[in-house]
Amino acid sequence: MAVVDALRPHSPLGALVVTTPQAVSVGDVRRELTFCRKVGLRVIGLVENMSGFVCPHCSECTNVFSKGGGEELARHAGVPFLGSVPLDPELTRSLEDGRDFIQDFPDSPAFPALSSIAQKILSETPAGLS
């Protein structure tokens, strides 16, 4: 509550909410969505992170945890579902090393997911702020 109050003078555009597909995470995020409604913070959208693992050798996607929990929650809560991001060890390494993932790994399975999510967020940004 204190963080939202501290941000109000800066007119935040809203909250970007991230979950993983597991039921425990989806439950936590459901409470976050309720919090956003109570404090009047617009939800820009919901992203499902760690949504499958794409094998770097054969490109087959394996749902390590589960799948679709974020999308189902977004539909149920009436907020935009922005997309799913697969697990990608290269993304983790590039972030830890401070490298530009988008530039270094354009062929990664996470790249199109992240790019699509970013485009959806930018399309919701009011003119003059992007």
User: For the segment 65-104, what is each residue's pLDDT rounded down to a tens digit?
Assistant: 888 899 999 999 999 999 999 988 888 888 899 988 888 8
At residue 110 the predicted structure's pLDDT band, cuts being 50, 70 and 90, is confident
The predicted structure's pLDDT at residue 44: 94
109/25 Cα distance (integer angstroms)? 23
User: For the segment 17-50, what is each residue's pLDDT rounded down to a tens digit?
Assistant: 999 999 999 999 999 999 999 999 999 999 999 9
Q: Backbone dihedral region of 45: left (phi > 0), alpha (psi from -120 to 50 degrees) or beta?
A: left
Domain boundaries, the chain: 3-124
The predicted structure's pLDDT at residue 60: 83
| CATH class of residue range 3-124 | alpha beta
